């Protein structure tokens, strides 16, 4: 395979930017913020607590809080003074609530970075929870595992309980071999020696999923890798920011690809998921491994992700051989060597990269939406969307098309499903770049920074209910610039309109439509077929609109 360049810059269909074989959602959802923008300070982890509150970690502030999902009232449980955050992916990260939190097991487990002799390290700590009325608190910290490697990048930091009562934790590759860390080697394929484990030297833990007892010790049934048993459950990972168990006991994770091939993996004990030698499927497409850290004069070079120094190690995916290698369950979204990063329809190369930056993962197993049962929900920073992947009955394969959900102009950080299966809560980043409505433009103008957004399932849309229609007419249709919506004089005064594109994304929402003439500007949206949905307190209507 030729080298020019290490990531190929040629063409492929543009729809892949938005998702391979993706389609629009059939269901309709109503979005409402839970409280104002900037309610949260750099949120990272979101849990739906057994008390009906939303539990959140604030990465930079080092705060754990409960938020009332109705009133948005904040109850700060603790501010951890030793949390250190000087970069974009360090600070207070993962959180796991002990089963029985309100009934005899009042423990909350947290992961955060702090400084040890001036060096950034990660630690896992158990806290005890107590509540008096509406006022809760965390106290009595017990350190489970300390001196874990930490970095300014790719700490990962998801923490969940398994059905076996063990804690599972993702620790990223530290962002090595790229950007400011380009001369540091990736350790995802490195395993600890017995001497290192005995000395509690966790140097080779990056790029792994860890499994530990609730006291921080190594479970006796953890896999033995290269003759050594450690906390390591699986390895060969890049930046796994999503981790979730299904009710069948299967463990699923998603992780960021370098420029393509974000992965959704089913994590199995002792398996090797290939990074940095393999990205996505082991198919020799688009990606080759350039080990910048192997260049003799690395520090004197200027890093570029599109080239490889002539004296650095350069490997094709097919050169990697490991008996325990495991392909991903799914790659978001696998493309071929002829993919064009420089498509002129895109603002820049970043938005053209076929990745979504998956920041979390959830699983939907509720009966409230029957067609969604046994689906993974992949949360995207870069696209302001959630991607639904339908699993087969065994949960071991993705079947059908990828569905796009919940578009807003935000960076989604984490998601939880309410117990009723009809509401979904998302937390958003305060700053950063994301995609505009078309998916081809970049913006840092976030609609709801540092917020909690609630998406609620709507009743089926009644189309053409003439007796209840609130509008006199909608014109012109087709439309080029401005769509006029004329409501009847006796219409309810709090009608709402949503414009939904062919991918099922709500690209525009107008609230408080008034009786009489209302305007909806569509000039900035791409040409195509849309659906205009109108809602009142008691009814909803839908009309097809063509924009040229």
Q: What percent of the chain has pLDDT over 90?
A: 70
CB neighbours (10 Å) of residue 192? Answer: 22
* Mean of pLDDT over the chain: 90
For residue 294, the SS3 value is helix
In angstroms, the CA 501 to CA 437 distance is 9
What beta strand segments (E) does 247-291 contain?
A: 251-255, 262-267, 288-291
Q: What is the pLDDT of residue 483?
A: 92
Which tens digit of pLDDT belongs to each residue from 390-429? Answer: 999 999 999 988 888 888 899 999 999 999 999 999 999 9
In angstroms, the CA 360 to CA 240 distance is 8
Q: Is 471-547 the same fold as 14-457?
A: no
**487 pLDDT exceeds 50?**
yes
Q: Which residues are catalytic?
A: 154
In angstroms, the CA 115 to CA 393 distance is 46
Give mean pLDDT, residues 49-72: 97
Give mean pLDDT, residues 61-84: 97
For residue 323, CA distances in Å to 166, 208, 272, 326 come to 27, 18, 9, 9
Nearest of 381, 454, 452, 456 to residue 65 by alpha carbon: 452
Q: 167-188: buried (b, 16+ CB within 10 Å) or exposed (e) per residue?
A: bbbbbbbbbbbbeebbbbbbbb
Q: What is the pLDDT of residue 243?
A: 98
Task: Write the DSSP assignment of 176-241 as a string of letters.
Answer: TTSGGGTTSPP-TT----HHHHHTT--TT-TTEEEEE-TTSPPPTTSPEETTEE-SEEEE--S-EE
**Residue holding tokens 């939907």?**
364
Domain range annotation of the chain: 14-457, 471-547
Which tens digit of pLDDT belongs to each residue from 80-133? Answer: 999 999 999 999 999 999 999 999 999 999 999 999 999 999 999 999 999 998
Q: 339 or 97, which is more confident?
A: 97
Q: What is the pLDDT of residue 135?
A: 94
Sign (positive or negative) of CA dihedral 209, 214, 218, 219:
negative
Nearest of 111, 108, 105 to residue 85 by alpha carbon: 111
Using left for φ > 0, alpha for ψ between -120 and 50, and beta otherwise, residue 357 falls in left
Answer yes or no: are the C-beta atoms of 159 and 109 closer than 8 Å.
yes
Answer yes or no: are the C-beta atoms of 49 and 57 closer than 8 Å.
no
Q: What is the pLDDT of residue 355?
A: 92
Using left for φ > 0, alpha for ψ between -120 and 50, and beta otherwise, residue 440 falls in alpha
pLDDT band per the 50, 70, 90 thresholds, residue 509: confident
**8 pLDDT exceeds 50?**
no
Q: 139 or 337, which is more confident?
A: 139
Distance of CA 288 to the CA centre of its chain: 25
Per the document, the length of the chain is 548
Beta bridge partners of 412: 428
**49 pLDDT exceeds 80?**
yes
In angstroms, the CA 463 to CA 479 distance is 21
Answer yes or no: are the C-beta atoms of 509 and 533 closer than 8 Å.
no
pLDDT band per the 50, 70, 90 thresholds, residue 25: low
- The strand pair at 232-235 and 240-245 is best described as unpaired
**Residue holding tokens 């370098």?**
258
Q: 15 or 120, which is more confident?
A: 120
Q: What is the pLDDT of residue 185?
A: 98
**Residue holding tokens 């990465």?**
59
- Looking at 3.30.1360.120, 3.30.2000.20, 2.120.10.30, 2.170.190.11, the CATH number of the domain 14-457 comes to 2.120.10.30
Cis check for the bond before 478: say yes or no (omega within 30 of 0).
yes
Q: What is the CATH number of domain 471-547?
A: 2.60.40.3080
Which tens digit of pLDDT belongs to each residue from 349-395? Answer: 888 889 999 999 999 999 999 999 999 999 999 999 999 999 999 99
Nearest of 305, 144, 157, 284 to residue 218 by alpha carbon: 144
517, HSE (Cβ side, Cα atoms, 13 Å)? 4
**19 pLDDT exceeds 50?**
no
**76 pLDDT exceeds 60?**
yes
Q: What is the pLDDT of residue 538?
A: 66
Which tens digit of pLDDT belongs to each residue from 273-309? Answer: 999 999 999 999 999 999 999 999 999 999 998 899 9
Give mean pLDDT, residues 430-437: 91
Lowest mean pLDDT among 84-93, 506-515, 528-537: 528-537
**2 pLDDT exceeds 50?**
no
Which tens digit of pLDDT belongs to each residue from 234-250? Answer: 999 999 999 999 999 99
**153 pLDDT exceeds 80?**
yes
Q: What is the pLDDT of residue 472?
A: 78
The two tokens of residue 90 are 């360090």
**504 pLDDT exceeds 70?**
no
In the chain the first and final C-alpha atoms are separated, in Å, by 43
Answer yes or no: are the C-beta atoms of 234 and 268 closer than 8 Å.
yes
């Amino acid at each position: 395979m030729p080298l020019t360049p290490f990531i190929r810059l040629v063409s492929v269909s543009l729809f892949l930017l938005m998702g391979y074989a993706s389609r629009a959602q059939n269901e309709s959802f109503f979005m409402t913020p839970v409280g104002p923008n900037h309610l949260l300070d750099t949120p990272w982890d979101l849990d739906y607590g057994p008390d009906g509150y939303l539990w959140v970690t604030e990465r930079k502030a080092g705060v754990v809080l409960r938020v009332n999902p109705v009133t948005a009232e904040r109850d700060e449980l603790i501010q951890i003074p030793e949390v250190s955050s000087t970069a974009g992916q360090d600070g207070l990260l993962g959180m796991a609530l002990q089963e029985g939190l309100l009934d005899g097991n009042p423990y909350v487990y947290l992961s955060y970075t702090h400084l040890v002799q001036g060096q950034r390290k990660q630690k896992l700590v158990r806290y005890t929870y107590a509540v008096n009325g509406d006022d809760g608190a965390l106290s009595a910290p017990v350190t489970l595992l300390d001196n874990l490697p930490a970095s300014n990048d790719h700490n990962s930091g998801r923490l969940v309980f398994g059905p076996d009562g063990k804690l599972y934790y993702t620790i990223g590759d530290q962002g090595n071999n790229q950007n400011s860390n380009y001369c540091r080697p990736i350790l995802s394929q490195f395993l600890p020696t017995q001497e290192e484990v005995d000395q509690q030297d966790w140097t080779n833990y990056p790029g792994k999923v860890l499994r530990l007892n609730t006291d921080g010790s190594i479970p006796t049934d953890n896999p033995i890798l290269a003759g050594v048993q450690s906390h390591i459950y699986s390895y060969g990972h890049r930046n796994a920011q999503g981790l979730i168990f299904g009710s069948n006991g299967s463990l699923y994770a998603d992780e960021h690809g370098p420029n393509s091939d974000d992965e959704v993996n089913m994590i199995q004990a002792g398996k090797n998921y290939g990074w940095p030698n393999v990205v996505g499927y082991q198919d020799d497409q688009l990606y080759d491994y350039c080990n910048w850290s192997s260049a003799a004069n690395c520090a004197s070079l200027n890093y570029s992700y599109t080239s490889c120094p002539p004296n650095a190690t350069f490997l094709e995916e097919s050169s990697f051989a490991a008996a325990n290698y495991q392909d991903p369950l799914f790659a978001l979204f696998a493309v071929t060597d002829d993919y064009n990063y420089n498509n002129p329809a895109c603002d820049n190369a970043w938005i053209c990269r076929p990745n979504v930056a998956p920041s979390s993962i959830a699983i939907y197993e509720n009966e409230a939406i029957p067609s969604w049962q046994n689906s993974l929900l992949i949360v995207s920073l870069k696209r302001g969307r959630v991607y639904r992947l339908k699993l087969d009955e065994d949960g071991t394969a993705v079947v059908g098309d990828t569905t796009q959900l919940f578009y807003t102009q935000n960076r989604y950080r984490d998601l939880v499903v309410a117990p009723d299966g009809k509401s979904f809560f998302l937390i958003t980043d305060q700053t950063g770049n994301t995609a505009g409505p078309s998916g081809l433009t970049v913006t840092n103008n976030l609609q709801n920074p540092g917020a909690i957004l609630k998406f609620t399932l709507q009743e089926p849309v009644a189309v053409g209910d003439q007796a209840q229609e609130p509008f006199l007419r909608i014109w012109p249709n087709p439309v080029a610039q401005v769509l006029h919506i004329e409501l009847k004089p006796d219409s309810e005064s709090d009608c709402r309109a949503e414009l939904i594109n062919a991918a099922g994304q709500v690209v525009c929402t107008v609230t408080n439509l008034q009786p009489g003439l209302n305007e909806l500007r569509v000039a900035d949206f791409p040409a195509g077929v849309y659906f205009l949905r109108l809602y009142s307190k008691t009814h909803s209507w839908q009309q097809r609109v063509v924009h040229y």
